[in-house]
Chain A
Amino acid sequence: MTSTTAATTVEAPSLETMLGALLRADLVVLTKNRMRMLLSLMLPLIILTSTSSSKATRSFGGAEFILGLAITAGIAGTSIMGYAPMVARDRESGVFQRLRVSPAPTWAVMGSRLSVQMVSNFVIALAVLVLGDNIHHLSLSIESYVLVLLVSILASAVFLSVAQALVGLVKSADTVQAFGRLLYIGLVIVGLFGASGGLGGFWDTVSKWTPVGVLMTVFAGVVGVGTFDSRDWLSLLACGGYVVVLTTLGIYFFRFDSQQEDNPMNTST
């Protein structure tokens, strides 16, 4: 098995083979962390059930906004408190460096992780959508379901870019975990108070343009199909802006070796 021969003609493995191996391994890791996924559903469930009375629903701007907030909270949780700490932990323990000395290109290593995380986010969005539809008696059409799930992909992109920026800017795995919790709580609180108008004036406006705020607006817009107005379009645009800016930051400052201190331009192959 481990005998070695000096090959004269060597071929690199095919990309499909390498990607298949990476995806299988990342899916195994995801299924072994299913408890984390279930915990990510807790806050959305609390939001949905605690606002099911008509008075509470009105105070948050309507069931559409509540559904948007719940899905956003679920996806933010699994991205910021799931993906980011896991990447930081694996970076610290040398998992990425080990994978990068294999013939697999770096983009495939990260692409596999992100793809699996997108699947996880999609499952959470679908679960929250079904629960929200039932708890808030929305009776959503198939069209609305499809649109909400499409927006949940956008929400995944937004929060995975937040998570990527976090692991790009912060090196220590412990700090990423601590900072991630604070960020998550902060984003959800701002979203909650922003939706209820509890912050007042200027801060209400600020909260509506945070990642949570803009996604809630877009979700609410697609749930009430046909009412997608200019503010919804601007929010959609803002989502795109967050993805571009945060992804750029996350890639530019990300290092595969947490000990590495050098010029960000000096990226390796």
Chain B
Amino acid sequence: MSSSPRPARNAIEPVPARSATDGTTLLEVRDLTVAYGPKVAVDGVSFEIRRSEIFGLLGPNGAGKTTTLSAIEGLRRPRAGAVLLNGVDIVRQPALAKAQMGVQLQSTGFQSELTVRQVARLYAGLYGVALSDQDLDGALADIGLGRELDRTTRQISGGQQQRLSLFVALIHHPTILLLDEPTTGLDPQSRRYLWTRIERVRADGGSILLTTHSMEEAQSVCDRVAIIDHGRVLAIDTPRNLVDQHRDDPLVRAAARGEITLEDVFIGLTGSEIRD
């Protein structure tokens, strides 16, 4: 086992202040099973997300994170199990459930012919948000897109597209924000902007479910995390508790290069082989 010291953990900033949740369940995922034909990608996954909680879904490539998220978002019909948001079943009442969700997918996905203002107007309409042109332009200016209002989405930068995507995800004041690998490819300024927005969502009583490959990020910002692999939940708890519980696990100790971290627990539980 190597004992070389790890670099200082300073990649994640600002770190949202941990706030106590009120303990009530907002999202319940119960025995969720999702299959692609004969291949079962998510196999009986269950977890709950509380109000004002940041919950991280962690797993190696192909573990079933995005598929789980897709089922919660209503993009994939589960083979079995249920997803309940505020008691609303995503399969039985998709429109009502989706009206409470804000979603940022891995790709921004806007029609390239539409301008920034037209995209915002489209999604305001889809979520039934009545906004005057002045209010809409002002809100877009607030996120630094004031000069880009009449530019098409193909004419703005990747960072601006990400900001527009987050704006659209939050346009209807959702009770839960679902983020699929939100910081992948972001520069430090954009990452900071994202965490500021997330903090504001939580401060206003909203919850956040995110997937990430960054263990530092998860350890820094998530109240609780679930580690999943091969479509099954391996562990759910706070990052600190997970580290404490697995501190003496030989596989975790073998993965550690110094102080035990969430990444060591993750590798200890999911293995060190590289996934495609």
Interface residues of A (CB under 8 A from B): 1-8, 10-14, 17-18, 20-22, 24-25, 28-29, 32-33, 90, 93-105, 256-257, 260-263, 266-269
Contacts and interface: CB of A to CB of B under 8 A. Distances in A.
B244 to A, nearest CB: 31
A244 B126 CA distance: 31
Contacts of B124: 21
Interface string B92-106: 001110111111011
A207 B98 CA distance: 49
A13 B126 contact: yes
Nearest to A17: B128
Nearest 8 Cβ contacts at the A-B interface = A21-B125, A13-B128, A94-B109, A6-B205, A262-B36, A98-B109, A1-B139, A12-B95
10 contacts: A1-B142, A2-B139, A2-B167, A10-B175, A12-B98, A13-B125, A97-B75, A99-B126, A100-B75, A101-B73
B113 interface: yes
Nearest to A15: B95
B36 A103 contact: no
Nearest to A23: B125
B155 interface: no
Contacts of A14: 128
Contact of A104 (B90, B126, B201): B126
A269 B197 CA distance: 30
Given A97-B109, A103-B99, A7 B175 contact: yes
Interface string B138-170: 110011000000000000000000000001001
B12 interface: no
B122 interface: yes
A117 to B, nearest CB: 14
B107 interface: yes
A13 to B, nearest CB: 3
Contact of A267 (B77, B108, B138): B77
Interface string B107-132: 11111111000100111111110000
A11 B96 contact: yes
Contacts of B106: 94
B74 interface: yes
A84 to B, nearest CB: 16
B230 interface: no
Assign chain B's interface to a size class: 35 or more
B173 A4 contact: yes
B96 A4 contact: no
Contact of B126 (A7, A90, A102, A267): A102
A94 B175 contact: no
A256 B206 CA distance: 29
Nearest to A260: B36
Nearest to A95: B109
A250 B73 CA distance: 24
A263 B36 contact: yes
Contacts of B70: 268
B74 A4 contact: no
A8 B175 CA distance: 9
A64 B24 CA distance: 72
A181 to B, nearest CB: 21
A141 to B, nearest CB: 40
B125 A17 contact: yes
A252 to B, nearest CB: 14
Contacts of B36: 260-263, 266
Nearest to B52: A6
B125 A101 contact: no
B95 A28 contact: no
A269 B51 contact: no
Contacts of A11: 96, 99, 128
B108 A94 contact: yes
A34 to B, nearest CB: 11
